[in-house]
Amino acid sequence: MTSDKKAGRSSSNNMVIATLLVMLGLVFSKGSGFLRDIFVGIKFSDPVFRDGFTLAFTIPDLVYNLLIGGSIQSAITPSLSAAVASGKEKEGIRTVSIFISFFSVLLVAVCALGVIFSHPLYSLFGNGERSAMTIDLAASASRWLFPQIVFMMLAALCIGILNAYKRFGSTAFGPTIYNVCVLIAILVFAGNSLPQLMRTTFGIMLAAAVYFLYQAIVGRDKLKQFRFIWAPGDAGFHKLVRRALPILISASVVQLNMLILNYFAIKLPDDGNVFALRNASTTWQLPYGIFAVAIGNVMLPSLAEFYGKKDFKGASELLSSRLRSALFLTIPSAGFMFIMNTDVIKAIFKWSPAYTDYDARRAGALLAGYSIAIITHSVVFIMNQAFYAIGKTKVPLMAGCIGLLTNPICCTLLMPSLGAMGLTLSYSVTSILQMTVLCVVYCRNKELRPHGMLTFIGKCALTLVIMCATLFVLNMYYPAPVGKVNELIAISVKFVAAGALYFALTVVFRVKESSEWISKALKLVRKSH
């Protein structure tokens, strides 16, 4: 075996290990995030306080994504990674230091304004007397969530820098620590009064501070190279900003779409729809976040390196394999959540009488509308990462703006006939449009475009139809039993049965990814012996 082949195999194995490690971290993060939502439903038993707490995060989250969120993984990481690979690490560190310094000052100023003008900002959600209390609670609670953004930004910058050095193990479990601290704050402070709500969001701000300190400590050997440098006229900084600006705007599109959905949700006739939307959103993002996000984030620095070396064949093969891997895992997840939507919501969130069967059915309908987005948004995320890796940041921005325009139009058209489900189905429709734009534009470059996708998608689609039909019949004859333990056992059995059927069919249809998973499993068994 030649040294190049050995290096290629070693690099592939390292990527698999890194992806699995990031997935494991995301499993813990998402799991602790579910616990957070479960205890929000229990501790804030009044739907008005639930909605107020949930709504409070929307504007701070938008500010975070608009100013810093998307640029970290998609601009800083590939830029610093490329600088390290090309022997220009010192220049890359200086440029990133200036970027961090400038946006830290800007974000502190914006957060101060957010605290001062929180009530006017949240009044934009106004919908008469019924929603006035919800909006007032959200505005008050957000006064501790704006300062939280500063700590979240610093933690995310640490993660972006460490990922550029492929230190995925140092960043995999930070979000879990944050979620556990948030969970403690909810358990200790939450309740149906304004003082309890304010203490809860104060505790969440402290959780963000702990999150940042953890990332700073575990990555101190790399992070100590970075200094506060105020040089906004630096040419390298300008180049990074030009690359980051479209990413910042396109990353904020996701949060803007959530603002739009919350705006329409609060207009629905009863309380609790904002929290139900949060439940559905958290649930569909479980497979998306664990599989697509992990695969895309690990792919990004390696794809940037391939492109920087003009190895277009390697870049195409890497993108093809990552897309297929993500879809192989998210397609059956989407089918299961579509068929079993209410049962999934009940299994996750219904742990007390405060969360009713009606709450579960409402969130289940929203989850069904989101199910298409599990697949399409996985493609959107990975294709966005591919564009960021090759420096074409304006294309994801264009696709995001198309989605931003179509989302409120679809909500207006679909809600009168579909009710709450029209909200999330609108999101899925916009995701389909974004995916189409990204794929069409990227595939114009024949050297870079992914290959072997149509056959793969055709086989997986046929497998999905068979799996969903079988699951529908199984659920019709064996509905969810009474009792929490029996309910959990029943949905677990159906999940395993559906997954086993899907995997078996992909083996029969000779889907490459299924054989790869078998091969990996056999290797692990051999190593264990």
State whether 249 and 284 are in the same domain. Answer: no
Instruction: Find the mean pLDDT for residues 12-35.
Output: 61
Q: Is 128 left (phi over 0), alpha (psi -120 to 50) or beta?
A: left
Contacts of 255 (CB under 8 A, 6+ apart): 58, 61, 62, 65, 66
Residues 357 and 482 in one domain: yes
Confidence of residue 265 (pLDDT cuts 50, 70, 90): confident
Tell me, yes or no, whether 31 lies in a domain: no
pLDDT given for residue 7 in this prediction: 45
Q: Does some domain include residue 387?
A: yes
Provide mean pLDDT across the span 51-62: 85
* b/e 367-405 (16+ beta carbons within 10 angstroms → b): bbbbbbbbbbbbbbbbbbbbbbbbebbebbbebbbbbbe
Among the ranges given (315-319, 351-355, 474-478, 494-498), the one the predictor scored with the smallest mean pLDDT: 351-355
Examine residue 241 and state whether it is found in any structural domain, yes or no: yes
Q: Which domain holds residue 460?
A: 272-529
Query: Which two structure tokens, joined as six digits, stand for 367?
Result: 């989850």
Distance of alpha carbon 342 from its chain centroid, rounded? 22
> What whole-number distance in Å separates Cα of residue 186 and Cα of residue 208?
14
Give the per-residue pLDDT at 307. Answer: 83
Which amino acid does the sequence have at 312?
A: F
Flag whether pLDDT at 71 surpasses 80.
no
Cα separation, 523 vs 59, in Å, equals 48
Token readout for 400 is: 């995001």
Q: Report the pLDDT averaged over residues 224-242.
A: 83
Residue 23 has pLDDT above 70, yes or no: no
Tell whether 222 and 261 lie within a shared domain: yes
Say if residue 396 is in the same domain as residue 518. yes
Q: How far apart are the first and last CA of the chain?
A: 26
pLDDT tens-digit profile of 5-21? 444 445 555 555 556 66
Same domain? 258 vs 357:
no
Of 59-63, 103-107, 310-314, 502-506, give the range with the top mean pLDDT. 502-506
Residue 93 lies in a domain: yes
Of the listed ranges 34-48, 447-461, 497-511, the least confidently predicted one is 34-48
* Cβ atoms of residues 468 and 335 within 8 Å: yes
Determine how many CB atoms are found less than 10 A away from the CB of residue 217.
Answer: 11
Q: Token pair 């010192």 is at which residue?
A: 90
- Shared domain for 164 and 143, answered yes or no, is yes
Is 436 part of any domain?
yes
pLDDT of residue 253: 76
Q: Is the pLDDT of residue 527 over 80?
A: no
The rounded distance, in Å, linking the Cα atoms of 218 and 171 is 8
When the pLDDT of each residue in the chain is averaged and rounded to a whole number, the result is 83
Q: Is residue 464 part of a domain?
A: yes
Q: Is residue 9 part of a domain?
A: no
- Indicate the residue among 225, 245, 269 that finishes a domain: 269
| pLDDT, mean of residues 280-287 | 88
Taking the complete model, does pTM exceed 0.85, yes or no? no
By CB atoms closer than 10 A (0-12, 13-18, 19+), residue 526 is exposed
Alpha carbons 298 and 34: distance in angstroms, whole number? 24
Are residue 48 and residue 99 in the same domain, yes or no? yes
**DSSP helix/strand/coil, 434:** helix
- Compute how many other C-beta atoms are within 10 angstroms of the C-beta atom of residue 193: 11
> For residues 233 and 249, what is the distance between their CA atoms, to the nearest angstrom?
22
160 vs 144, higher pLDDT: 144
Give the pLDDT of residue 378.
93
User: Which of 1-10, 57-66, 169-178, 312-321 comes out lowest in average pLDDT?
Assistant: 1-10
pLDDT of residue 12: 53
| Same-domain check for residues 311 and 287 | yes
Side chain identity, residue 3: S
Q: Of 269, 291, 307, which closes a domain?
A: 269
Say if residue 259 is in the same domain as residue 365: no
CA-based angle 424:430:434, to the nearest 5? 140
Rg (CA), the chain: 23
Residues 130, 52 share a domain: yes
User: CA 301, CA 313: separation in Å to the nearest integer?
Assistant: 16
Q: What pLDDT is stored for residue 121 in this prediction?
A: 84
Check whether residue 253 and residue 276 sit in a common domain. Answer: no
Residue 75's pLDDT is 64
Residue 91, domain member (yes or no): yes
Cβ partners under 8 Å of residue 289, min gap 6 = 26, 29, 30
Number of structural domains in the chain: 2
Give tens-digit pLDDT for 214-229: 888 887 777 778 888 8
The pLDDT tens digits for 390-436 are 878 788 888 988 888 999 999 999 988 888 888 899 999 999 999 99
The pLDDT value given to residue 70: 55
* CB-based contacts of 381, cutoff 8 Å, min separation 6: 288, 292, 293, 296
Structure tokens, 59:
């504007």
